[in-house]
Each structure stands twice: as structure tokens, then as C-alpha cells.
Amino acid sequence: MLFQPDMETMPLGKLRQLQSERLRHLVAYVYERVPFYKKQLDEHGIRPSDIKDIGDLHKLPFTKKNHLRDNYPFDLFAVPMSEVIRIHASSGTTGKPTVVGYTRRDIDIFSEVVARSLAASGCKPGMKLQNAYGYGLFTGGLGLHYGAEKLGMAVIPVSGGMTDRQIMLLQDFQPEVMSCTPSYALTLSEEFAKRKISLDSINLKTAILGAEPWTESIRKQVESGLGIDAVNIYGLSEIMGPGVSNEDVDEKGSGSYIWEDHFFPEIVDKDTGEPLPEGEYGVLVFTTLTKEALPLLRYWTNDITNIYYEHSSKRTHVKMGPIRGRSDDMLIIRGVNLFHTQVEDVIQYFVELSPNYQLVVSREGNMDEVEVRLEIKDTFSEILTSTTSHQELRGRVVKKIKDNIGLTMKITLEGPGSIPRSEGGKLNRIVDRRKVY
């Protein structure tokens, strides 16, 4: 289903004209209204009139997260506070949070792109959405809520966690759709199996999953565990929130459509910042073409992915691949680049292992080392008491990781339930112990 067919199928030539028009307006807008951007452009010798079309985008400087923090809380806003009707912020776990503001038009567009995303996921007016994203400063809960209402769905605003209540409402309210993090969907599927709850007792058809990187192996676990289609939604608060891009339910695994009439994407080299050709992996950069309160030029997301035009007959917008990880979370172990999702991909080959895992990074002398904590399924728990079976499985995992990733890692096999689960929010897969040295 297409929520806005004319926009989602706009011919590329016409789309480029629209993007160019919006970019010209955006650059003049921020130059006039945001002192930070006037200073940035002046320092780079750029006048708004130098930007003729979307092809000139690379001339503009990047905006990075530290710029938002340096201008905390509201100095990057382009409108007076009297025009701001909502404020969100990141968790601020590494310092001051990044703060985002929205005008009424921003909220309308936010709702519009989430409605597009939900429609692409197979949602329709009249369906019920059980929203298990957190409500609050995090953009996920309210973002999905308003978008679902825009589409004509009935929203059950449960918020995150509270697994007993989530299961009760899935059984009692019979929603067709649920939204949450992929790690929490995995937690729910495990709880259904553990409690021996029949999938016939629920009416769930689709799960809208995002807010953290996930892989095809997690998709398979969630889909089989809950009897649903699991569809990826992507976004980040600085750009808008959820709904920047989304998979089509009929094209799962082939990438997520970026709504590029509002968010223009680039892929750049993580070291040089130079634009990379279509299909190559690098850092995802976005320019917000229509935001009023917090417009951003070439925002450096730190997310590693690629973009490409491999279209079905449905839409003309560009697709992005799965997020491999974040450039600031990428581990470099003995000269090899490592993302935790690569380990997640390996686990799926072992029927003895649950999809729950954790990477523990430490430093021995001048060398970084990674221990991979893996969890054995209930049905294979006898492996833990058999030295031969334990060593045999461990050896197979070591070899598979070496063959696939190129690293020999320490593998620790643990009992069922030993690895932390998501309680509704994002799940940290990496424990970094190097800071103690």
C-alpha cells in the first residue's frame, strides 16, 4: 500500500527538481536564521547563491553531533520558541543530550513519513497498533503514535517494557501490528515459547522494528517465534525520528526506501568525508529538506550502510541497506574492522545457540581482545556438562568466526538465560572494559 502515491512514485527527474528547489530554500533559510550555519558557510567561503541544485550539496560543510551539543540546548533552532510545539532529546548517556525541536508543520511531516512507513509495512486504516516504543524524550513512541493515527489506525500506547502486560494486551486487544525494538521482539518471542502460549491466541500480523541494528537472523527468529512479518523502520531523532526510511513488506531484505523528498541521503568515506559511489559502504549523511525548527545540513549520522536504486515497480525513491553498525562503535581488532552484527550473522548457523550474545572488549598490553559470550538453548543444555561436546561446539564456532570475519576470538558458552535481554529499550551488545586500563 502507498500512502502518498504521487510522491512515492515521482519520476527521478522531477524528484531531483523538487530536491534542488528545497535545498536552495534550505541553505538561504539557515544562513539567515541560524548563526552557527552563517558562520560555517562564511568560513568555507560559501554564499547561499552558490548552491544551484542538489548536485552542489557536496560543497556544504558537515554537521556533526558535537555541533548539536556545543549549541545545547536551543541555539541551532531556526525559529523562535513561540513556534516550537514539541521538544525531544537523546538519552545523553555520553554527556549533554542532543535536543530537537518541532514546529506544527514539522510534526505534520513527521506524522506523514511515519504513515508512509506503516503503509509500506502493510498497515491499513482500521488496524490496531500496539506501540511498545518508549514515550517521553525518545522520539520513537510519539513518532509511531502520531503516524499511525495519521494512517487511520487505532493506537494502543503501552510504551516500553512491562512484558506481562504486553502479552496480556496482545491476547485481549488482538492488535494486528506491534512496534518495538528488534531485541524486545526477540524477548517477546522467547516468552511466548517459555510460557507455551499458542500463537492462535493473538492476532498479530506485523511487527515494525527499529531503533537498533539487526540482521536477517534476528528477523527469522522473531518471525517464527511470533508468526508475523518483521519489517524494518529507520530513523534518528536529529533528522526527525522514526520514519526516515522503511522496508516494504513485500520486499523484505532488499533494503529500506528513504523518503528522499524530505531527507536527502549521501554515503561518504568515514575518514575523508568524500562522497562514495552508489552501492559502496560508508557513513550515512542526511540533509533535512523541509524541517523548520531544526534544519540540518549534511548531518553525519555515524551509521554505516549503502544506498542504491534497485527498484521494484512500486516506488522511485532510493533504498538503503541494513545498518552494519556505527562508525564510532566499530571495533578494530588486530587490524580487522568488526561490527557486532557480523557475529550475529554467524550465530544463525548453530542450532545449539540462542540468538542472544554479547561482545566483551578488553586490552591485553597494547592489543585489544574480544570475548564472545554465547548462550546455549534449553534443549541443548547438556552440552554444558559434557566436556567433549562443549569443546566440539566451541571449536566449530571459533572456526566459523575465523572463516567469516577473519579473527580468532575467545568463545564463552553459557547457560540459557545468562545473556541480558531487552526490557523494551535498546540493547547494548558490546561491553567495553578497555576504559579500566
Nearest to 113 by CA among 69, 139, 151, 67: 151
Question: What pLDDT is recorded for position 437?
Answer: 36
Q: Is the pLDDT of residue 91 over 70?
A: no
Query: Using 50, 70 and 90 to split pLDDT, how confident is the model at 433?
Result: confident
Query: Using 50, 70 and 90 to split pLDDT, how confident is the model at 148?
Result: very high
Nearest to 182 by CA among 310, 331, 341: 341
What predicted TM-score, i.e. pTM, was given to this entire model? 0.83
Helices and strands in the chain, H and E counts: 11, 21
Q: What is the CATH number of domain 331-436?
A: 3.30.300.30
Phi, psi dihedral angles at 331 (to 5 degrees): -95, 140
Q: Is the pLDDT of residue 421 over 90?
A: no
Q: In one letter, which amino acid is 369?
A: E
- The average confidence (pLDDT) of the chain is 92
Query: Using 50, 70 and 90 to split pLDDT, how confident is the model at 212?
Result: confident
Q: Is the pLDDT of residue 138 over 60?
A: yes
Tens of pLDDT along 8-57? Answer: 999 999 999 999 999 999 999 999 999 999 999 999 999 999 999 999 99
Mean per-residue pLDDT, 186-191: 94
Tens of pLDDT along 341-359? Answer: 888 888 988 999 988 899 9
Give me the count of residues in the chain.
437
Q: Which cell numbers in the block locate residue 423?
A: 526490557
DSSP string, 154-199: EEE---S--HHHHHHHHHHT--SEEEE-HHHHHHHHHHHHHTT--G
Topology (CATH level 3) of domain 1-326: Rossmann fold (3.40.50)
Tens of pLDDT along 390-402? Answer: 899 999 999 999 8
Boundaries of every domain in the chain: 1-326, 331-436
Q: Is the pLDDT of residue 93 over 70?
A: no
The helix (run of H) or strand (run of E) holding residue 25 is helix 12-33
Q: Is the pLDDT of residue 280 over 90?
A: yes
Question: What pLDDT is recorded for position 92?
Answer: 57
Omega before 73 within 30 of 0, i.e. cis:
yes
- Burial of 51 per CB tally in 10 Å (0-12, 13-18, 19+): buried
Question: What pLDDT is recorded for position 18?
Answer: 98
Question: What pLDDT is recorded for position 82?
Answer: 98
SS3 411: strand
Exposure b/e, 69-92, CB count within 10 A at least 16 = b:
bebebeebbbbeeebbebbbbbee
